[in-house]
Copies of this chain bind each other. A is one copy, B any other.
Amino acid sequence: MERAGGARGLAEAGLGGGGESGVPAAGAVAAVLPAGGCGERLGGPTPKQFCPVLGRPLISYTLQALQRVSWIKDIVVAVTSENMDMMAAIVQRYRHQRVTLVEAGTTRHRSIFNGLKALAGDHPHSRLPTPTVVIIHDAVRPFVEEDVLASVVAAARDHGAAGAIRPLVSTVITPSADGCLEQSLDRAKHRASEMPQAFLFDVIYRAYCQCSDHDMEFGTECLHLALKYCHTKAKLVDGSPDLWKVTYKRDLYAMESIIKDKISQQICVVADTEEDAECIAFLQGLLKKELEVQGTSVTLCPNGQDLQKIILGDCYNFVCINMKNSDFRPPRQLLAGLASAAPSPFYPVAVVSVYFLDSQNVSLSEKMKEVMEMKDFAKEVKKQNVFFYGVLIHFPQFLTQKDKTFPSLWIFFTRKSSSFSGKLGSIDDRPKRSSYLDSALGFC
């Protein structure tokens, strides 16, 4: 068993979501995450919990969701021995906190039991305190929210066990031995048992200790074990659709789109002059209307503290409008700031820097030298998950003209940004996209 973790945690950095708001009344809470599956239903060689989504392994999203909840004191992850190093590297890279790795068993129940043992102090090297309540969650349900975690924990305190449920999407049937319909269950009388679930630690640990080999081998339901071995009737809590389990390739697609949607709703506009306030306000309005961006902020090139605040506010998209300068100093400062200020590389940061270049006054070949330098610099910051896109516009009349082509141009740039980290994959984006491409045509 090894305790893994980077130097700074999300909770410490203030990203802890609801903080103490939903904290259960008394006693410590821990979580166990079985992650030893091989993901055979996904059809690829990589177990689904390690599949990259926007470049980051699925399980890292789930860990982030759990560690945002400050009252979950320990998170025990059960992984197979061959994936142990990879998992430790993920914890390191994404600076996950309060995470302990244990070896997975050959089945889901055995993996969970190994996790519980680490919390029970049965493991020789374990130094984890035994919690009052333990949450059991799936590594492949990345969108779990604090409110549902708080609900199952509260219900577990009262009832000994609790689990999230959802309505059935399909009717459930019983096949006969010869592959015919034996019985069809009334959909209204049944529910799908989802995750998270929570238990008084004593209840679930006692249940696992008594568990038969058959249960360990073929069982899938923790609530069932609590009922069978401890006569504890779990309280059922309605969960949200977001709790669904990433099972098939289509679920990875869906997950990616959901994340893109979330992180594309914030764009920070950076201008190098305060003089053109009217123009910036116009751009803000446009972003809201055309891209459904929920929040935008305007600032002169931010640094240090300011930058950290922006990132902590879940804003990963920057559009830099360079009106006054045609050199690359301002974006260089911003990129350097981002590379150091970003608290963790959870999502890629996209920076689109826009220049209006009057080719009658500036030598193009000189400019190209600078561009090449910026490309090298962009390669450097990319290693820290900061993606830099630069656009030069050769259009001498532009700065004086400000005609109707102006708005289309703005959309072009901002959409480029969100194409990377957001909107381009989303539904009914097509008509908008074609219009920006049309207008881009005239300016390439």
7 contacts between A and B (CB under 8 A): A54-B430, A55-B430, A169-B247, A172-B190, A244-B248, A391-B444, A424-B424
Contacts of A431 in B (CB 8 A): 55
Query: Are B235 and A179 closer than 8 Å at their CB atoms?
Result: yes
Q: Is A73 an interface residue, CB under 8 A from the partner?
A: no
Q: Is A229 an interface residue, CB under 8 A from the partner?
A: no
A428 to B253, CA, bound (A): 11
Instruction: Using CB atoms, name the residue of chain B closest to A441.
Output: B390
Interface size on A, residues (CB 8 A): 88
Contacts of A185 in B (CB 8 A): 172, 190
From DSSP, what is the main secondary structure of chain A's interface residues?
Answer: mixed
Query: Are A256 and B387 closer than 8 Å at their CB atoms?
Result: no
Q: Is A86 an interface residue, CB under 8 A from the partner?
A: no
Q: Known interface pairs A41-B241, A382-B434. Does A163 touch B192 (Cβ–Cβ under 8 Å)?
A: no
Q: Known interface pairs A181-B234, A190-B174. Does A250 touch B257 (Cβ–Cβ under 8 Å)?
A: yes
Q: Is A389 an interface residue, CB under 8 A from the partner?
A: yes
Which single member of B163, B172, B427 contacts A193 (CB below 8 Å)? B172
Contacts of A170 in B (CB 8 A): 166, 192-194, 245
Query: Are A184 and B190 closer than 8 Å at their CB atoms?
Result: no
Contacts of A374 in B (CB 8 A): 441
Report A96 CB to chain B, min CB distance, Å. 21
Q: Is A2 an interface residue, CB under 8 A from the partner?
A: no
Contacts of A252 in B (CB 8 A): 427
A165 to B254, CA, bound (A): 23
Report A64 CB to chain B, min CB distance, Å. 18
A431 to B192, CA, bound (A): 38
Report A338 CB to chain B, min CB distance, Å. 15
Q: Mark A184-207, 1 if CB is under 8 A from B, else 0.
A: 110111111110000000000000
Contacts of A253 in B (CB 8 A): 253-254, 256-258, 425-427
Query: Are A441 and B184 closer than 8 Å at their CB atoms?
Result: no
Report A308 CB to chain B, min CB distance, Å. 24
